[in-house]
Amino acid sequence: DPPPVQLIVQFLEQASKPSVNEQNQVQPPPDNKRNRILKLLALKVAAHLKWDLDVLEKSLSVPVLNMLLNELLCISKVPPGTKHVDVDLSSLPPTTAMAILLYNRWAIRTIVQSSFPVKQVKPGPPQLNVMSQIQQEKELTENILKVLKEQAADSILVLEGALKLNKDLYVHTIRTLDLLAMEPGMVNGETECSTAGLKISAEEIQCQVCYDLGAIYFQQGSTNAAVHENAKEKFFKTKELVAKNGSSSLHFTIDEERLAGYCQACGVLTSSSDDASQQATPYSQIHSCMKSGNYQDLVKIFLEDNLTLSLPVQFRQSVLRELFQKAQQGNDALDEVCFKVCVCNTVCDVLQGQTIDIQFCQLFLKPSKEKIDFLLEVCSRSINLEDASEVLKRKMAAFLKNLCLGLEDLQLVFMISSHELFIKLLKDDERKLLIDQMRKRSPRINLCTKPVTSFYDIPASASVNIGQLEHQLILSVDPWRIRQILIELHGMTSERQFWTISNKWEVPNVYGNVILGIKDNLTRDLVYILMAKGLHCCAIKDFVHAKQLFAACLELVTEFSPKLRQVMLNEMLLLDIYTHEAGPGVSGERPPSDLISRVRGYLEMRVPDIPLRQVIAEECVAFLLNWRENEYLTMQVPLPLVQTNPYVKLGQLLAATCKELPGPKESRRTAKDLWEVVVQICSVSNQHKRGNDGRVSLIKHRESTLGIMYRSELLSFIKKLREPLVLTTILSLFVKLHNVREDIVNDIAAEHISIWPSSIPNLQSVDFEAVAVTVKELVSYALTINANNHFWLIIQADIYF
């Protein structure tokens, strides 16, 4: 059976079909018995649904619902053409008054709904009849909306008048509609009396009318702020009635979450000093603090809420995001505020059993005494030990325990472990176990509570404790001091491998195998540690110390290993690229010709048996693309290099495509080659597998090796690019690939999109989900390079609308 709303559509559609006379002229639908019965049937279905506007609006178009409610007005004896605002509702029969209320409630609800943005549905294959019907319905809807908006003021007055009625009304049922359809002589006046139909209490009417009026006032407030006061009054009245009678009744339901949102918004938008309820709302106080820059009180509100936990987690996160955005715009004073709010949120998450946010971990990468002090204060004020449950206490204890295990500075650990809260939450045996765990974690470091003095002040003699010397070795970035410490250590013992004392010293496996093959223990330790520390400094952008460490390592290996000498020259090239890109390159200064020549030389290098890191080739190609060395990449790169190195091949295709833009013919040819490579990267391999039940199922392997590299590697490479034309080209390609998908709702617009092929031979093999994710990631990255690029902003808008 069709659903009720579908029956309404079918009945009214049949009843409104135009007729054709003998002269083949189209006539309006005749007012005959058949059509009257069809309209009555539509009204009966609506009565069966108890005239629930939520249900009717969700399933019926504006023209159909307009026709239905006009039929209700007609059958309820409302004279056509009469202005509802001129009618005294109190003098009308209850069902007639209710019909007028229903129509005017629908009118303002429709106006409000039309103000919300709606995503346009992508049309399917063009069909003239269907397109014509859609266009007609669209024009009809626009005309009805125009009339409703013109009459909005009258509808509001009608509903305001209804609030003063203060009496029960009745809405038509199937029985009362049947009575009305009888011959006039057979109706005994029952439909006119006060007990006919479905009773709607005065409070129910007031509740729904207040809610609908609040919505229209709130919508009008965008152009007239004073109207927000009216909206606030209506929403708070609705809230009172809902609290008294419940949110559901016979013929309507109030969305309590939306109502709460409206109330909060009105509370903030109509803030006043004499409004007690307003002052008591933490949302409005936070809004006021953010607006005025009173961040001290903001932190205080978050701290107090850690006990009550009244603010939703999502709201807390949104405030923190806004603070981070302001801090990133250059307001350095907000760094401390961000940290404090982040700590409050983290402790709140811990108490609610949520995972700790990555932002907290990032802010605690460099802990300090002040940070630990504030964290302990927040923890102490967020839990009342006398009233707290055992579950809460265990959550807080586990958090503090893990915090200690994550800290390397023993003084900071001691601050936490000696704090009153820590002592109360953890038993003696738990604290003892924690200390043992920390000792095991750092067996070679002296766990004295006194801070280790600067190693420059410690004489390098055999009397110095080995543990202290190892600690100095871990901290030092001076190559000559590192050498001196290692000589001291090797003089004390010949049984230790000192390159293993820190798990943070990491050297790529491709180099490690060569270095660990050095026979002399001291030389092996020195080369390994110098390279590991240099790579670490490079990673944290401490390029000055990285250069000193690499230079010392180069000087050392030149004496005995041509292979390691070339390795160090390659790493120093990568370091020089990083140094230029982070320094003069930021302001647009071109790199010196010597650096460009060294980059080309690396790509063309043909020395056998040299261990190579792929990242160096990747950075070299990105470097050449960023500085528009398209001629070299297109014409001068050796062919064997293009065939063996995927990044060089990708760079050549990108350079060739950018070089030919905007010439249509040439660029289309080079673009086709680039397109095919990227499509292969985004394709997945399909395999069939027979299950236990004998059925054959299709398995898609993500990140397949069909292409020259994995999609994640391609994405990582693109995020090294900064040149606008290159980024625009690769974005355009992915947007086109996204648009090729058959079931896509909306196309995304992009520059140069016409140069790409418009179809793919093997469409099923492309992982379009991965393509959609990649488009989002790429446009987000591109906007970090230039947040004002017109075409990139259009792409982002198309994605999210």
CA angle 37, 41, 44 (to 5 degrees): 135
Alpha helices (H) along 605-723:
614-626, 630-631, 639-644, 646-660, 664-681, 711-718
- 305 and 410 fall within a common domain: yes
- 415 and 458 fall within a common domain: no
- 28 and 140 fall within a common domain: yes
Distances (CA, A) of 605 to 245, 566, 600, 650: 82, 10, 9, 19
- Is residue 579, in this structure, part of any structural domain at all? no
What pLDDT shows up at residue 675? 92
Contact by Cβ (8 Å): 21, 76: no
- Is residue 343, in this structure, part of any structural domain at all? yes
Contact by Cβ (8 Å): 683, 766: yes
What pLDDT shows up at residue 195? 57
For residue 119, what are its two tokens? 């995503």
What pLDDT shows up at residue 103? 92
Which residue type sits at 635? M
- 413 and 458 fall within a common domain: no
Peptide bond into 2 cis (omega under 30): no
CA angle 671, 673, 674 (to 5 degrees): 65
Give the separation between CA 676 and CA 443, rounded to whole angstroms.
55
End residue of a domain, out of 200, 234, 259: 200
Question: Which residues constitute the domain of residue 461?
Answer: 443-528
What pLDDT shows up at residue 686? 59
DSSP-based three-state secondary structure for 27: strand
Number of folded domains that form the chain: 4
Neighbour count for residue 671 (Cβ, 10 Å): 26
What pLDDT shows up at residue 58? 86
- 429 and 451 fall within a common domain: no
Contact by Cβ (8 Å): 200, 251: yes
- 293 and 341 fall within a common domain: yes
* Residues 6+ away with beta carbon under 8 Å from 738: 744, 748, 768, 771, 772, 775
Give the separation between CA 93 and CA 179, rounded to whole angstroms.
15
Distances (CA, A) of 286 to 261, 268, 294, 304: 15, 9, 9, 12
Distance of CA 448 to the CA centre of its chain: 46
For residue 548, what are its two tokens? 């000193």
- 514 and 430 fall within a common domain: no
Single out the residue of 209, 197, 220 nearest to residue 254, CA to CA: 209
Neighbour count for residue 630 (Cβ, 10 Å): 22
- Is residue 300, in this structure, part of any structural domain at all? yes
- Is residue 498, in this structure, part of any structural domain at all? yes
- Is residue 544, in this structure, part of any structural domain at all? no
- Is residue 248, in this structure, part of any structural domain at all? no
What pLDDT shows up at residue 386? 84
Distances (CA, A) of 561 to 101, 499, 553, 587, 614: 93, 19, 11, 39, 22
- Is residue 331, in this structure, part of any structural domain at all? yes
For residue 54, what are its two tokens? 């939520």
What pLDDT shows up at residue 125? 52
Give the separation between CA 530 and CA 533, rounded to whole angstroms.
5
* Residues 6+ away with beta carbon under 8 Å from 406: 364
| Cβ-based burial of 552 (10 A; exposed 0-12, middle 13-18, buried ≥19) | buried
- 77 and 36 fall within a common domain: yes
Beta bridge partners of 686: 700
- 374 and 358 fall within a common domain: yes
- 292 and 430 fall within a common domain: yes
pLDDT means over runs of 10, the chain (801 residues) = 83 80 71 84 88 86 90 84 83 88 92 76 52 74 89 90 86 84 50 66 87 89 76 86 68 77 77 49 79 86 87 84 82 84 90 80 80 90 87 88 80 80 81 68 38 36 63 88 86 79 87 88 92 93 93 90 92 95 89 92 84 90 93 86 88 90 64 91 66 47 66 92 94 91 76 85 85 92 91 87 71
- 367 and 462 fall within a common domain: no
